[in-house]
Every structure is written in C-alpha cells, then in structure tokens.
Structure 1
Amino acid sequence: MTSKKQMIAFTRKQDQDVTSLQPISLPCPRTGKVITFLYDQDTTTIFELSKVAEGRKACWLIDNSVYKDGALHFITPIDPLFIVLPILAEIGRKVSLIVRKKDSELSLTRISLSHAQEEGKALYRTMDDIFTLEQDIPSHDIQRMIDTTAFSEQLAHLCDTQEIAPGMSVYRYNEEKSLGWLKQKVDALVQQFDMIPQFKNSLSDLAEDKKKDHRLRESIYVLAKYLTNDWIKALFKCYDGLTEEAVDETEESMANDINNPSVDDYFQLVSNKSTSPATEKATKKPKPTTPRSLANVNTKDIKPLTSFFKSK
C-alpha cells in the first residue's frame, strides 16, 4: 500500500485554489533525466518544481498535523518549449541509413538529418510521432504538455510547419529557428536586466564599456539552467566578442554537489554573486567585547556556574 503525498502550497493570493495542480513526469531540459513538474488542469500551465531543503531536520506544523518533510519548494511557470527543444534536437541528430553507389559498390553511409535536409531527404513528422512514439516517458504526461495553451502554434519557433489537412499539421526541426528563439529570450532578459536589484547592483563596479557584455553574459547564464552546453556555446557565438566567464571550480563543485541546499544557503549563494570580497569583510560583525562595567570585577571568590549542579 502506498501513501499518497500531500502538497501544502503558500500563494500570494488569499484563498487561491491549488487543487488543480497535478504532478507529471517530463525530461529535464538540461540533463534529459525524467523529473517532476506540476500541471495546472485549469489553466493548462506547466510549473517547474525547485526543492530547497533545510540543512537540518525540519518539519511543517499545520493545524493539528505534523508533516515530516520540512523541505520548501518554489513553484514557477516554465515555457514548455524549453522541455521540447532537447527532444527535437535529439531527433535532428539521429542518423539515417541511405544507400549510395561508390566505386561500383553499394555502401551504407550514415548521414545526419541536417545533411539529409540539404539533399531533400528530410521528413515532416506529426506531433504524436515526435513526442509520443519515441519517448520513454508516460504518454499521458506528454499529452498534457501538448495540451498547454497555444502549444502547436508555439512550435513554429523551433520547427518548420506544414498543414496537410484541416486541423492537422506536421513539423520539422529547424536549428536556425531554435537558436533565433533562444536569442530572443536573451535579448528580453537584457532589456529587463536593470529592473532586477541584484543584477543592477552587479553593474556598479564595472566600467561603462563592460556593462553591455556583462548584461548579455549573465542573461545567457540565467537560461543556462534550461539548456545543454552546446546551446550555451551557440548563444555566446551569436554575440561578437562575447566570451564565457571562467567559473570558480570551488563554486561550481559546491553548486553541483549540493542538490538540496538549506534555505539560508540558497539565498546566500544568490547574494554572493552580487557581493564583492571587500563588502563581505566590511559586513562581518566584530567580536563582542566585555562590558566595561565587568572588566574590573574581582572574580577570585566567585564560584563557576557548574558548581551549582554538583551533587552534595
């Protein structure tokens, strides 16, 4: 017998109904591993679920019940195209076998679908063929993703599309379109960069000619959570002269090793990016000193506190 997990949600709006949120399993955009998302049946929206666990044992006390799992989860909407992109890209990388005649002999040559497109061999595929038949994930969860608002129309950002019958379209992955869509995401983040206090503060110590590259670089890194390394490198190449920032090995190791940092650690990691070493030293609290009124007290005949607890 399996016990059904309960989800306690705190929302910004009072009396907001969260019973429509259902867990679904979909591939992680960056790693490809199947992870849990939330699907809102009322709005057909997909939410990502980020767990921030306490470093020590904790629990929730709600009404008259005790919930052993004291972890905190952040629930935020996610664009389903980020989930779709690696699926489409994988299909684009798959190889096909074609027969070629070379030196009067038949040989099987492996060519990528991108090469096949140049030779007119590329095939359009139905949505079911792309997202259902080849995926090792629950079909009903894939269907929920497909049912999200305007999903089929949004695929035009990543694919060439053709309508073969009323209400029926076929799709072909287009890498150039996909990169253009990601670039639009980066440019949108750059426009909003100064509206986020922590990002804006990170510009204060930079020379004016360095700020533009900094905005672009950090905006790409914001999207990096949802992209493979190949896409990250491709985005950097879109901007002339923009280079990737060297990553501190200690910080990278810490970020990779701690899957569920405490709430304090989570916000500390976020704030460290906008805090310089000089500022950290300045914010350290001084060691408390002995009050002057007690500095000259004669302690010769004063018993230690532990003496009161000894057996007589």
Structure 2
Amino acid sequence: MAWWEGTKETRVLIARDTSTGGKHVGKFLSLRHPRTGNATCYLYSDGLLQELHWFKQSYGSWFLGDYVCEDGRLYTATPVDPVFILLPIFEEARMKKGNDPGKFRQLDEIIYIHGYPGYQSLSSIAEKTMQVVCDLKEVGSTKFFRLNDLKVLKWLCYKVHQLKQTLPTLDENYAARNEKDTLFDAISIVGEYLKVEPWMNLLCNKLKLNLQDWTNAQNTEILPPSAGSGPGSFNPAQENSSTDKKAARTTRQNKKAKVEKDSQNIKDMFSRATRKRG
C-alpha cells in the first residue's frame, strides 16, 4: 500500500525528527488553549511539547513524490513551556476561594480533564515542571500539588525578563526601542498564553504596567495555531470572511517579525522563484 492510501487528509509539517534521536513516536494531543480555553492541537514527542502554527497562501498545494497534497498550508511545530499549558488546570484543581490558598491534589486527579484525555500523556513532564510554581507535599510515596500564586508570579516575571533581554538581540529595530516599549512587547508575548484574571492583572501590577494598554493591543485577535476537532485533525479554525483572513494573516506576520531575525515573507520567496523559472 502506498504511504498516502487510507489516509483521509495529508498535511506538510515541519517538526523535530524523532526517528533517530527519540525513543517514542510523536502524537497529537487535543488540549485547552491556556488563554482562550478552546480545543487546540499540540504535538507531544519524546518528552517535548510543541505548539502548531500554520501559514497559507491564497492558492497553493504540495507535490509529495507522485502525490499532490491539495492543502497548501505549511505547518510548523515549535516548543512551548508546558507550565503555560498546565497552569489553568492546576489553578482550577486547587478550588481556591477568597483568601484560602486552596487544596492539595494528587497529580492524577489534576490532569484528569473530561473530554481531554491528552493531558494524561503529560503526567511525566507535569510532575517535573509544575514544581516550580506549586507547593508540594509528600505522604509516603504519594505527591500532592497546590498552585502557589507567589511562585507563579515570580516565574512569570522571570519569563518576561528573559524575553526583555532577548528581544533587542533579534533585530536592530528592537535595539532602538526604549526599555518600557521592550518590556511591553515582552509581556504581550507572554500574555498570549495567560488569562487576564488573575495572571495578567497580577503581572501588570507587579511590573507597574497599565493593563488597559495591553488589553487594547489585543483587540485584533491572533488566529489559534491549530484548533481542530480532534488530536490529529489538523483543521485550523476557519475565518468568517475574506476580511478576517487578511486581518489574521497580517497579524500573524507582524507577530512573527517580532521574534525572528532576518525573516522573509514566504509568499515573496515563492514569487521570486516563479519569476526566475519564467
């Protein structure tokens, strides 16, 4: 049987090859997006959690050997800190009320989310990574976790600080920006993975930034990386109109320019190649 036979749909994905260095075959997990709560597809491979992004021209397809893939989207998988993805479910699990810090829970209880069995595949990395933002109690061989607001805030400030130090090295335009604008850019990037309440509110207060300024910058919503109906569906959310498509594509390009050095527009690259052939 040819490799494409029996497959409902084919996609082109650029991701780390685990066939040589990894021990396990990667799999797609349907998880809740940490900011929106929408079902989103992630790639989990050999202990590394990756989020999916996609780019699509108005018209395009792929030639894969003797097979033509009608979907011309280009998917990429990039690493994401699992703490961002697990933060919302750990927050819910502690059942905090008012000034009460909440309850300690076993990891198996925390990551059991109805309708999202993919979280259980993250048990090994959750136990290791979430200790940085949680209080931990051990009773015999059993561990109990409870999210700690102060630890979360300290971790978020560290993430923002790291971005603030890195951004000026990526592009000369960033190097020319003042410190406050660079800080705003860094917190905006981190904010793509956080709910406004309580984390963005706490983070902005800690860094003495106006939360409303950040909220206004989010008026143009960025299309989720890949929000399919199932773990391997690869069906990105469909835009409502051609205007929405253009706005989403423009927003994603602007975002990408912030974090990549010497990046080029993929459409322009293909256009130049076409002209050369002619």
Larger Rg: 1
Indicate yes or no: 2:140 matched with 1:165. Answer: yes
Cα distance 1:9–1:254, how it changes in 2: closer, same or farther (>3 A)? closer
48, 51, 54: which one pairs with 2:51?
A: 48
| SS at structure 1 position matched to 2:78 | strand
Q: Tell me the CA shift for residue 262 of structure 1.
A: 9.6
Q: Distance in 2 between matches of 1:63 and 1:262?
A: 34
Amino acid at match of 1:160: D
Pairing of 1:61-140 with structure 2 (within 5 A): 61-92=63-94, 94=95, 112-117=96-101, 122-132=102-112, 135-139=113-117
Aligned residue pair count: 233
Cα distance 1:260–1:28, how it changes in 2: closer, same or farther (>3 A)? farther
Indicate yes or no: 2:191 matched with 1:213. Answer: no
Amino acid at match of 2:140: A
Match of 1:25 in 2: 30
Q: Tell me the CA shift for residue 143 of structure 1.
A: 1.8
| SS at structure 2 position matched to 1:221 | helix
Cα distance 1:272–1:170, how it changes in 2: closer, same or farther (>3 A)? closer
Amino acid at match of 1:235: L
User: Identity of aligned pairs, percent?
Assistant: 23
Structure 1 residues without counterparts, runs of 5 or longer: 95-111, 275-312
Is the Cα–Cα contact under 8 Å of residues 15 and 78 in structure 2 kept in the other structure? Answer: no
Indicate yes or no: 2:130 matched with 1:152. Answer: no
Normalization by structure 2: what TM-score? 0.71
Normalization by structure 1: what TM-score? 0.64
Q: Tell me the CA shift for residue 253 of structure 1.
A: 3.7
Q: Distance in 2 between matches of 1:192 and 1:250?
A: 21
127, 148, 153: which one pairs with 1:179?
A: 153
Indicate yes or no: 2:119 matched with 1:142. Answer: yes
| SS at structure 2 position matched to 1:153 | helix
Q: Which has the higher contact order (CA 8 A, sep 6+)?
A: 2
Cα distance 1:131–1:186, how it changes in 2: closer, same or farther (>3 A)? same
Structure 2 residues without counterparts, runs of 5 or longer: 1-5, 224-238, 260-278
Q: Tell me the CA shift for residue 194 of structure 1.
A: 1.7
Pairing of 1:159-308 with structure 2 (within 5 A): 159-166=134-141, 168-197=142-171, 200-204=172-176, 206=177, 211-230=178-197, 231-240=199-208, 242-244=209-211, 246=213, 252-253=219-220, 255=222, 265=250, 268-270=253-255
Cα distance 1:247–1:115, how it changes in 2: closer, same or farther (>3 A)? closer
| SS at structure 2 position matched to 1:76 | strand
Root-mean-square deviation (CA, aligned residues, Å) is: 3.4
Q: Tell me the CA shift for residue 237 of structure 1.
A: 0.9
